[in-house]
Chains A and B, each alone.
Chain A
Amino acid sequence: MQDNNFQDCVKCTLCTAYCPMAAVNPIYIGPKQAGPDGERYRLKDKAFYDYALKYCLNCKRCEGACPSGVRIGDIIAKAKLESGQFRPGLREMILANTDIMGTLAVPFSPIINPVLKWDISKKLMDGVLGIDHRRTFPAYAGQTFTRWYKKHAKKQQDAFSKQLYYFHGCYANYNYPKLGQDLVKLMNACGYGVQLLEKEKCCGVALISNGMGGQAKRQAKVNLASIRKAGTTVLTTSTTCTMTLRDEYPHVLGLDNADVRDNITLALRFLCEKVESGEIKLAFKSDYQKKVAYHTSCHAEKQGSWIYSLPLLRLIPGVQLTVLESSCCGISGTFGFKKENYEYSQEIGSKLFNNIREANPDYVATECETCKWQIEMSTGFEVINPICLLADALDVEATKQLNQVR
């Protein structure tokens, strides 16, 4: 019962009102019932687990809505893991094991990327695995971020007097190394050397939501050991990884991270705080002109991290910023890839897609990689992490001078 504050719920049902899934799917019983209400029954007998819990997106918007601070999403995630009724199949193994898939795919990315786009392979994955054929798979990179880092960046880092660590996550490593490269560029310009952790595994969020708690726990222990060893700030670029490392480890997996939790921080938060305190100064290109629409991803909403992204984006003189109404894009990590969820996924996102079309920006800015896949596939607009946007717009030389970097 430890840490499970389900009894603080006063049944106001705000969580269910804010739940993107409950709004489109009558089968889903909603976070109030799946969470604190269901917990009473599960205490009586584990057999009271309700299969409809598989529809929980783990978006945590319920927790943001809750005026009583009930950790509704965590209660549901834990119930799913402990029920024993949510057994992962081959599809779940493939979708959730991002490290294995990424390691296998990257060397063959020139072949795999086009193959994943073929109709025939999409149909095959749909029929055999239950991965929806309408879904566009994110492309794998030609080389991983870590490989690039070792080849092109590692040596230079030791020259900096101030040092930081970077938890790159699977997306930056296997799919979009530019994000990691941009972070290194940005931090270097501000006078910080960027180190990689001794060992980094996938944060495990997909394992948690696909019922593989044991493996998630093993990976979490590796990550926590490396983060402890680093002993200083560990930056992240993904809101989801950040939330998993900081909150899901203790709340869902039961791993105490109190000693290092404060060290794990979203790079945007770190930058924003340093800019505000005057420790970091940023200079931007005068000719950079972009219309940007900011999308608050679910886990940015949960952690309140948009509060750091927006002031940073506003620093760029040529950025014309629109803040979109905060709403879920519908993909929820691996959820939207599954055949049976595709329709729900697109229906949930439809409001956001319309808002984006209306704003008609050059870029949609968001910190979440899976939002990027969903929005790009569903609207055709290009989605960019604010870190990349800052790096693109950065006047590197001027920034170096401001921060007295030689």
Chain B
Amino acid sequence: MKQYDVIIIGGGITGAGCARDCAMRGLSVLLLEKADLTNGATGRNHGLLHSGARYAVTDSEAAAECIRENRTLRKVAAHCVEETEGLLITLPEDDLAYQAKFIESCQKAGIDAKAIDPKEAIRMEPAVNPDLIGAVMVPDGAVDPFRLTIYNAYDARLHGAEILTYHEVTDFLKDDSGRVVGVRAHNHIDGSDPEFHATITLIAGGIWGTVLAQKAGVNVGMFPAKGALLIFGHRVNNMVINRCRKPADADILVPGDTICLIGTTSTRIPIEECDDIRITPDEVDLLWREGVKLAPSLAETHILRAYGGVRPLVAADNDPTGRSISRGIVCLDHEVRDGVPGLVTITGGKLMTYRLMAEIATDMICKKLGNTKTCETATTPLTGSDGPALKTDSHTRSSVKAAWGRHGSHIKDIRSESTYETSLVCECEEVSVGEVKFGIEQLEAKNLVNLRRRTRLGMGTCQGEVCACRAAGLIAKSNACAESAKKDLASFLQERWKGMFPVTWGTTVREAQYTSMIYQGLCGLDQWAVETSTTRENPVLSKKEL
């Protein structure tokens, strides 16, 4: 039986970052994810490359962490980052006095924030509310959390790590001394329950990780807070727009790839609800109303969908009441804290600080294992971000430029020799047959949702109407099973509909009706509909199950 140095539980950005760091330091690594990479909190946020400015006034330590990581990610994860820069605007109803305090705090934290003339702000970002009375420019940006996670995992694999998705850890294996020596996992694909052994087990599963930790007799207080967001059909802004005031609901508008999104709300929810987040009409109203204050043209912009995630807020350690919440990074050595050797938890933090979290956790693991290699993730570029810029001329197809934006230097692995390979599967997001094949073969997409996260297929304005059946066909070809592809197609469209449902009016309802007319009315796809599992993840169906 294979003995790993470390098993990492959780395929979000933290887990993927840890897997890369551990693998780069020469450890043998296994990452287990119960569904797909980014399925939890990672795939359900703003995608904001924080400058830290938002935390400058309230939490200068977090702000300083953010700006350091901001600068690092621009260098080492260039193909996942878009350097848009950000504005913090003061509207007539806001207190302009806050601006001075804000700039001062930013400077203290090392964030380059400078006040600019409101007219200059309008010139730089024509979509901004023209009534603004003040503007500050900060080094915000956009980061694609799917791409960042998937390429961290890919990089980890290139360094020898094994990544197993759809493997849900169900229990910990302990030896006679009470040391955690591995885990048992349920394989959602073939239904088996294999055991894996490792010297150290690292829990990087956010909210879900803490639930699991209880099985090892460890208690970490988590306070999940739900955040809702709206995605718009195209970009109205090319710079991040924030409100210059104490952080509140729906005050960040981020341009991300072809879309822009407004968020977020913040509502405490019980842990049991984390697996089935529903967006309420009140949340949609609030997001829309506040969003229009940042950029008035949002009022006439097609809304693609609404979604929500859970912030993994952690109770500051040693505070059993949970009143004191930390947004900082929490790395727990359960041998010291709870007398459970072999088990480590990394949690808290933010998408922005994932690399630092991984460094901290890996440092702790290496110390336990006696590995002295130092962390290189702050200087070694992520695979994909390690090549030169794409050379284009006037004949370069826009789909090639789009694919380069998504895969960086790995564009060389996307086949484009034949007309078939360059033809498009997803037209809204310009995903070619070659790119879909790359997603299936190199990035290990097993179903349509996997493919969406790896290529943006189905994320565009038609929400899968045009591309879903084409992509299902390509997946069916790759695994020679048409029946599972049909079920996958049905649940993929169901998942898309779930996000559209809270915002079904105007053009969104026309789009949804048209999609249902094709797939339900014309293709009779409802007979293939499958109950979605509690993890809200598309089931990957094995031939055995069918």
Contact = CB atoms under 8 A, between A and B. Distances in A.
A40 B507 contact: no
Interface stretch (A46-54, A125-133, A320-328, A333-341): A46-54
B415 interface: no
A310 to B, nearest CB: 33
B258 A41 contact: yes
Classify chain B: how many residues form its interface, as a range: 20 to 34
A40 B394 contact: no
B234 to A, nearest CB: 4
B514 A10 contact: yes
A40 B234 contact: yes
Contact of A85 (B257, B394, B466, B514): B394
A11 B395 contact: no
Given A7-B234, A48-B401, A48-B402, A12 B514 contact: yes
Nearest to A83: B394
A7 B238 CA distance: 18
Contact of B427 (A26, A33, A49, A50): A33
Which of B235, B255, B392 has the most chain A CB within a 10 Å cutoff? B235
Contact of B511 (A11, A33, A41, A50): A11
Given A10-B511, A11-B462, A52-B397, A37 B428 contact: yes
B424 interface: yes
Interface in A47-101: 47-52, 68, 85
A44 B462 contact: no
Interface residues of A, number: 28
Interface string A20-44: 0000001001001100011111011
Contact of B428 (A8, A40, A51, A85): A40
Nearest to B419: A26
Interface string B290-334: 000000010001100000000000000000000000000000000
Given A40-B234, A40-B461, A43-B234, A11 B428 contact: yes
Contact of B460 (A13, A40, A44, A50): A40
A7 B301 contact: yes
Contact of B507 (A8, A39, A51, A52): A8
Contact of A11 (B235, B424, B427, B430): B427
Contacts, number: 71
B419 A51 contact: no
B397 A50 contact: yes
Contacts of A8: 507
Which of A1, A41, A68 has the most chain B CB within a 10 Å cutoff? A41
A49 B398 contact: yes
A373 B397 CA distance: 33
A233 to B, nearest CB: 36
A10 B462 contact: yes
A41 B465 contact: no
A40 B255 CA distance: 12
Interface string A368-392: 0000000000000000000000000
A1 B126 CA distance: 11
B401 A7 contact: no
Interface in B383-398: 392, 394-398
A9 interface: yes
A51 B466 CA distance: 23
Which of A39, A48, A49 has the most chain B CB within a 10 Å cutoff? A48
Contacts of B511: 10-11
A11 B233 contact: no
B401 A47 contact: yes
Nearest to A68: B510
A11 B507 CA distance: 11
B395 A51 contact: yes
A12 B511 CA distance: 9
Nearest to A13: B466
Contacts of A52: 397
B416 to A, nearest CB: 14
B37 to A, nearest CB: 25
A2 to B, nearest CB: 10
B510 A10 contact: yes
Given A12-B514, A33-B427, A40-B234, A7 B302 contact: yes
Given A7-B461, A51-B395, A85-B394, A33 B424 contact: yes
Given A11-B511, A26-B419, A43-B235, A37 B427 contact: yes
Given A40-B258, A48-B398, A7 B507 contact: yes
Interface string B142-176: 00000000000000000000000000000000000
Contacts of B402: 41, 48
Interface in B59-76: none
A238 to B, nearest CB: 32
Contacts of A9: 461
Contacts of B466: 11, 13
A8 B302 CA distance: 8
Interface in A156-185: none
Which of A6, A32, A39, A44 has the most chain B CB within a 10 Å cutoff? A44
B398 A1 contact: no
Contacts of A39: 234
A47 B392 contact: yes
Contacts of B398: 38, 41, 48-50
Interface string B213-246: 0000000000000000000011100100000000
Nearest to B301: A7
B126 to A, nearest CB: 9
A44 B427 contact: no
B375 to A, nearest CB: 34
Contacts of B428: 11, 37, 40
A37 B238 CA distance: 18
Contacts of B235: 40, 43-44
B392 A44 contact: no
Nearest to A50: B398
A39 to B, nearest CB: 8
A13 B462 CA distance: 11
A274 to B, nearest CB: 40
Nearest to A26: B419
Nearest to A34: B398
Interface string B408-423: 0000000000010000
**Nearest 7 interchain pairs by C-beta:** A11-B462, A50-B398, A7-B302, A40-B234, A48-B398, A40-B258, A51-B394
Given A40-B235, A51-B394, 12 more contacts: A6-B234, A7-B233, A7-B234, A7-B301, A8-B507, A10-B510, A11-B428, A37-B461, A41-B402, A43-B235, A48-B398, A68-B510
Interface of A: 1, 6-13, 26, 29, 32-33, 37-41, 43-44, 47-52, 68, 85
10 contacts: A7-B233, A7-B302, A13-B466, A32-B427, A38-B398, A40-B461, A41-B402, A44-B235, A50-B398, A51-B397
